[in-house]
Amino acid sequence: FSPLRRDHDRARQVALSPNTIPFGAFQFWRWDRPVSELFAATWPIFAWGGGITALFAFTSRNKREVNRDAEQIMLGGAIISVWAGVVEEICFRWLIFLSSIFWVKVVNFLLLGFIGLGIPEHLFYWIFRPLADLATLGGLHSMLHHPATWAVGAAMLSANAFFRDGHKYQGPLGWINSWFCGMFFFWIMFSFGLPAAILIHFLYDLLIFGVRYLDATIERAQGNA
């Protein structure tokens, strides 16, 4: 219990100070590893996204107007992909993540943290951190167990929860998938930098629209237009 007690003592001292964020404002705006290494590390997300999309697309029939307007839909999808890659990564992986490091400490301080019994902190230590560490196969262990403060891991999970909930319209599978994708994008940012996360997010979404476009053109060639 001594590490937890030390974190409690530290949290009470700095809980309401915005200077406790252990990252520079632009620390993640870097690209210091080869592109080939990036794609070698991220191919599983493309295999998963493209494969699951193809499974649903090629085992169902589109509406005739979807096949007829396939090019327009693909163009719109490309624009959406750019928007999602740039805006969502900047918001969730950078701005919301960094600001949440401060705000989870504020909430924890208000919820009994001022006496060393912060409810959010305990929930993170004993429930959310172990589950997230298991679900991500230890890939984000260093951030979930960040030596500076527990709030780093809690902020990452909080920011990713916002990202996940923004995809509720995709149904239960999309909701769950977005959580894992969000955590994977966090891993990319920590490993390669935020620009790399933006690029991979854009290409991931573009791939999904590309598979749907291919399915639509095949069906159109078969007369379903």
pLDDT at 19: 58
- In whole angstroms, how far apart are CA 18 and each of 21, 100, 103, 148? 7, 10, 9, 14
Q: Is the confidence at residue 35, as pLDDT, over 80?
A: yes
Average pLDDT over residues 14-41: 83
Average pLDDT over residues 134-152: 96
* 20 pLDDT tier (thresholds 50, 70, 90): confident
pLDDT at 2: 43
pTM of the complete model = 0.89
Q: Is the confidence at residue 7, as pLDDT, over 70?
A: no
Q: Cα–Cα distance between 103 and 11 in angstroms, integer? A: 12
Tokens 């999602």 found at: 84
Condensed to tens digits (0 to 9), the pLDDT of residues 83-100 reads: 999 999 999 999 999 999
Q: Is the confidence at residue 206, as pLDDT, over 60?
A: yes
Q: Cα–Cα distance between 140 and 219 in angstroms, integer? A: 42
* 3 pLDDT tier (thresholds 50, 70, 90): very low
Q: Is the confidence at residue 45, as pLDDT, over 80?
A: yes
